[in-house]
Structure 1
């Protein structure tokens, strides 16, 4: 009984110290991250649906899908329209693509 209480106390102290060590880290600068994403170009050779998803152009995406565009088409790096919508922070675009059947488990060339 005494060993179990000592073990529990030791685990609690270790957990507290681990949590405390994470508090000393400086938070990420979100403005730099946002600028970095905004500066990342979409290749002009990427499929039209991939480009539209990166821009968040819902009208063009709907038109392309209604015309029969493949929803999980990939660019040269294996990124799908859903990858691009998520990367560029377009939640409405992501929701539309998922509602239209985009593969949420698709992987690009990196994984």
Structure 2
């Protein structure tokens, strides 16, 4: 790519979430299937932030760059289970992680 002479940018997205999309609600099920420890972390990005990065890429502001497009801090599985669109639910987080070590 770098030697092609073309304008380019590569955007690498984290786990995409957004208003009412249901992804956060699937985390307990995914964590159980993959046997993820509650302390495992996921790099996240909101769909509105993706739109901003794509616009920047199309406008040439990211030309020649590889960009990790993620939120400021990764979140633990435990935090994500309790952090859903309907608000934090620590009881749900505790129940889905019972017996985990």
- Give the structure-2-normalised TM-score: 0.31
Bigger proportion of residues as helix: 1
TM-score normalised by the chain length of structure 1? 0.29
Larger Rg: 1
More strand by share: 2
Greater RCO structure (CA 8 Å; 6+ sep): 2
